[in-house]
Structure 1
C-alpha cells in the first residue's frame, strides 16, 4: 500500500509500504499509518505558525521603523503578496469615519496587471465591500463576478482590474473599520484555504493599529503645522503695517505646507470680479498675478456660500460637476485641482486693518477675498 505525504511548500511525496509475505498487516503496523498522518498535519501546522509569526514580525519591524503610512502599507502588501503568491494585494483606507469611499494607499502587483493605487472605491451600493465591513472574518470569493448584487459600476472596476478571485478582510481599531485588505488572483480562479484566511486576519489586526497610529501622527503634524503657520502670520502682522507683506507671507507658508504648485489671494472688487493681489508658485507654472480675467460663472449665490465660511476642495476640475464656463476658466490657468478658503472680515475690521503698500486694498463687504491653492500637474 502507499501513503501520500505533503510537506509545506513541497509537492506531494509518496511513502510506499510493501505487504508482508504473510499477506496480512500486523495490528501495530496498521496503527502506524494514522500516526504518520497526524504527525504530518502537526508539522504543516507548525510551519504555518512560523510563517505567520515571521510575516507579522516583518510588518512590525516596518511599523516601528517609520510613521509613513504609504511605506508601511506598501511593504505589508509586498510581504503578503509574496507569502501567498497572489496577483495583487491592495490596502484601502478610510480617510475619515464619515467618508463613504475607500482610497487605495498601498499595493503590490506581481505581474503586468492594472494598477489600483490611488483609486477611490465607493462603499455605498457596493455589496461585497459591505459584506467585508459587516463581518469579523475574511470574505473568500473564488468567482468574484458571481457575488450576488454586484452593480454595473463594481463590475466595470473588477473587469478593468482583471479580478477573478478575491480574499478580503476589514481592519478594525477599537471596533471601528479603518481599512480593507484585498488579495486578488487575476490569472485564474483560486480556492482560498482556511490557512490563507487565518493568515490574512492575523495581518489585519496588526495593520489596523498601524493605520490608526499613522492617522494620529498625520493629524498631529497637520495641527502643529497649522499652529506654526498662524504664529508666523501673527508675528508678521505685529511686526509690520504693510498688508501686502503679511499676505505674501501667508501664501508662501501655505504653499510650502500644502506642497502644491501655486497659492494665491484673490481680492473681490465690483460685481464679484477681482484680481490676484499676491501669489507664491513653483517653476515652471506661469504667474497669474494681477488681473485674472472675468470668471463669468462666479455668481452672487456662490459669494453667499463663501461668506458663510464654505471651504471647497476640487480634486479634478474635469470630473467635479462644475459648469463648463468655470472649467474653461480654470483650464486656461492650467489648474487641475484646487482648494478654496474664504477670507471673511467683520465690519469693524474693515477700518482697522492696514491698507498701506502697493495693493491699495478696499473692502467691498464681509467677503473680502479668497485664499486659493492650485495643483497644476
Structure 2
C-alpha cells in the first residue's frame, strides 16, 4: 500500500470516530472541511445548504479554501444551478471542459474557478424519515481550481464519510435545539398561563401570548383571530405580534366563504392546520387569496375553543394563527404541540 493510501486509511479511521455532540455546529463543520481539504490537497472544500425559503436554492455556509482562490462563503445560488443529487448521488468530474455538463452548471463552475470537482450530497435524517427517503440538506463540494484532476476511489470514499459525518452533526444539532426549545417552551407556557390567570384585560393577554409565541417560534407573524359566528363566520384579527418588514393584519375584516363549508367543523373538532407551503397544500382558491392578502407563505393554525355541555361540540370562537411570510416552512411536531398547549388555555 502506498504512503498516500495509508494516510487516507488512517484519516478514514479517524473520521469514523464519534462526533462531538456539544460543540458548536459551525466549528465542527469547519473542522471537518479543513481536515478534508488538507488530506485531499485540494484548493477548496465548501458546504452548500439548501433552503426552502429560497425556492430550493442554497447558500454556501462553510468553507476551507487555499490562498489565491475566491471565497464562496455566504454566496447564494439558484436551485437550477446543480444536477439532481437526490437521485444521481455523487458526482466526480475530472475535467469540467471534457465532461458533458449542462451549460448553466458548467458556467457556474467556471465562475467558481473550478477545473475539477467532487460533489457528495449531504442528507438530513430525522426520526420521521428514518424509513423513507431522507431530505437533501445540502452538498459537500470539493473543488480543484488549479488544474483538472482524476478523483481516486479512496478520495471519494473519504468524501462520502465526511458527508456522513455532516449528517450526524446536523442530527445532533437538531436534538440539542429540540431539547433547548422544550425548556424555553415550558418557560413561555408558564408565563402565558400566569397572565391568563391574572385578572388583566383580555386584549393584553392576547398581545402577550402573540409576542411569546412569535419569539419562541421565530415566525413572521402571530395573531389571534376572532370569529363572529352570527355573521356567517366573518371575523377579524384582534391582536398580533409581527416582524417589522411585514404588513399588520390588525382590524382587517375577513370573510372566507369557503370556511363554513370546508373548515369550521374540523376546527370545532380540534383540528390543527399545519401548511408548509400554501401553494402546495391543496387549499381552495378563496382561502389562498385571503392568505396572500396577508403575505402568508406557510401557516400553523390552531383553533381556540370554549367548552360546552358534555356531548356538544365546543364553541369555536377564534384561531391562533402563526404565519411564515418569508417562504415555505416545515412545522416541527414540538412547535405544533407548543401552539396547541397555548391554545388549550384560551377557553375564554
TM-score of the two chains, using structure 1 as the length reference: 0.57
| Residue 302 (structure 1) aligned to one of 263, 266, 275 | 263
Aligned partner of residue 345 in structure 1, secondary structure: strand
Q: In terms of mean alpha carbon deviation, does 214-223 or 366-375 score higher?
A: 366-375
**Map 1:1-377 → 2, pairs under 5 A:** 41-42=2-3, 44-45=4-5, 48=8, 65-66=23-24, 69=25, 72-73=28-29, 76-77=32-33, 80=36, 84=40, 85=42, 89-90=46-47, 106-108=61-63, 111=70, 129-130=86-87, 132=89, 140=92, 166-168=118-120, 181-183=139-141, 191-240=150-199, 242-269=201-228, 270-283=231-244, 285-290=246-251, 292-296=252-256, 298-300=258-260, 301-307=262-268, 308-315=270-277, 326-333=287-294, 335-348=295-308, 366-377=315-326
Q: CA deviation at 1:271?
A: 1.9
Structure 2: gaps of 5 or more residues: 327-348
Deviations 1:67-125 (A, max 9, x none): xx456446645664576436664466999xxxxx998884549758798869889xxxx
CA contact (8 A) 1:340 1:372 kept: yes
Q: CA deviation at 1:246?
A: 2.5
Relative contact order higher in (CA < 8 Å, ≥ 6 apart): 2
- The 3 A distance-change label for structure 1 pair 273 and 190 is farther
CA contact (8 A) 2:61 2:73 kept: no
CA contact (8 A) 2:121 2:139 kept: yes
Alpha-carbon separation, structure 2, partners of 1:244 and 1:80: 56
RMSD: 5.2
Alpha-carbon separation, structure 2, partners of 1:330 and 1:70: 36
CA contact (8 A) 2:214 2:220 kept: yes
Q: CA deviation at 1:251?
A: 0.6
Deviations 1:249-307 (A, max 9, x none): 211100111223331101111222201111123435453322x1334464320333434
CA contact (8 A) 2:308 2:314 kept: no
- The 3 A distance-change label for structure 1 pair 114 and 234 is closer
CA contact (8 A) 1:77 1:106 kept: no
- The 3 A distance-change label for structure 1 pair 111 and 328 is farther
Alpha-carbon separation, structure 2, partners of 1:264 and 1:77: 42
- The 3 A distance-change label for structure 1 pair 213 and 102 is farther
- The 3 A distance-change label for structure 1 pair 205 and 376 is closer
CA contact (8 A) 2:207 2:239 kept: yes
CA contact (8 A) 1:91 1:107 kept: yes
Aligned partner of residue 368 in structure 1, secondary structure: strand
Greater CA radius of gyration, 1 or 2? 1
Q: CA deviation at 1:319?
A: 6.8
Aligned partner of residue 254 in structure 2, secondary structure: coil
Equivalent pairs counted in the alignment come to 298
- The 3 A distance-change label for structure 1 pair 321 and 82 is farther
- The 3 A distance-change label for structure 1 pair 285 and 76 is same
TM-score of the two chains, using structure 2 as the length reference: 0.61
- The 3 A distance-change label for structure 1 pair 342 and 81 is same
